[in-house]
Each structure stands twice: as structure tokens, then as C-alpha cells.
Amino acid sequence: MTALPASASATSAVADALTTIAVIGGVTFLVLLTAAGLTAWVVVRKIRRSRLLRRGALRVRTVVGDQAGRELARQRVALQDAQDATERALAAAYAQHRPVGELPAVAARLADAGQELDDQLRLAEREPDRALRSALARELDGRVREHGRLSAELRASVLSTGGAVGEARLLDAGSRLAVEVGALTAWQESYGARRLG
């Protein structure tokens, strides 16, 4: 067996090292490229699903397009505003530990009806026939108004339960304050005079 010259083994070692570095660099590049691609995909999905972005686009449609399209977009905005206000009222009631009874179940049924109505409005917006779209806008307007009325009634019920609890808490705080003021007055009369004397 013949021995390789020192320069050949050094060249082989350098080639092996360069190959290893190239493989590690390539794998690292592919991992970083995959991570960047996944991040971009997630960001695009979040933007597309963004409720705020959808809301903004819907509000733009209330002023752009034909009369029936604008009216349908206004109805969808009114429907979503009513649903959001109802959710906020219930969340506030929960946060303040107020009694809500069966109102969350009623709100859930109302939200389901609102979702069905929103689906109908969305389909009506996509209707290519202007006359039919206009007729659908008039027909659905009454349902949207009824949903808004029921949502307002539900919110009024939620807020009225809070009024009774709030009034009771105010009376309780007032009576406790009266007791504390009386105690401080008595303390001042008893011990305040001794300090001065």
C-alpha cells in the first residue's frame, strides 16, 4: 500500500470540511427558509381572518357600490354592531358578578339567528341581479331591525339587573360610611379632647 503524499491528505481533509460546511449551511438555509415561509403563511392567514379587517371592508362597502349593495352592507354592519354590543353587555355583567339568569342562553339563540341573517345578507350582496338584490335588501331590512330591537331589549334587561345590584351596593356602602363617620366622630370627641388637654 502506498502512502498518500501529505498535500493529498490535506486536500482531502479540506474537501471533507468544505463538504460538511456546505451540507450544514444548506440544511440551516432550508430550515430558515421553511420557518420564514411558515411565518409568512400564518401572518397572511391571520390578516385574512382578521375581524377588524373584515369590519373595515364591510364599512367601506356601505359607501361604495350601488344603492342595494350599500343598504345590504349597512344592514350587516347594524347586525354585527348589535351582536357585539350584546356580547359586551353580557361580558360586563359577568365581570361584575351580576345575576344574568337565562339571558346568556337567550343571547346565544339571538346570536345564532343573527348569524343566519348575516349569511342571508352576504348571499344577497353577491346576487348579480340588481332588481333581486334590491328586493332582498328591502325584505331583509325588517328582520335586521327586529334583531336589533331584540338585542337592545336583551341589553336593557342585562343593564337593569345591574342597576338593582348597583343600587343595593350603593345603599350598603352608604350605611357603612355612616357607621364609620359616626365612629370617627365619637373617637374625635373622646380622644381628640384628651390630646388637646
Domain ranges for the chain, please list them: 21-50, 62-173
Dist. CA 76–CA 124, nearest whole Å: 11
**For the chain, what percent of residues have pLDDT higher than 70?**
80
CA distances (Å), 171 to each of 86, 163, 168, 181, 189, in order?
A: 28, 12, 5, 15, 27
DSSP of 98-115: ---TTHHHHHHHHHHHHH
Average pLDDT along the chain:
83
Distance, in Å, from the CA atom of 68 to the CA atom of 124, rounded to the nearest integer, reads 9
The pLDDT tens digits of the residues spanning 92-118 come to 888 888 888 888 999 999 999 999 999
Reply yes or no on whether the pLDDT at 122 is more than 60. yes
**For position 101, what pLDDT does the model report?**
84
Give me the mean pLDDT over the 111-128 stretch.
Answer: 92
Residue 49 reports pLDDT greater than 70: no
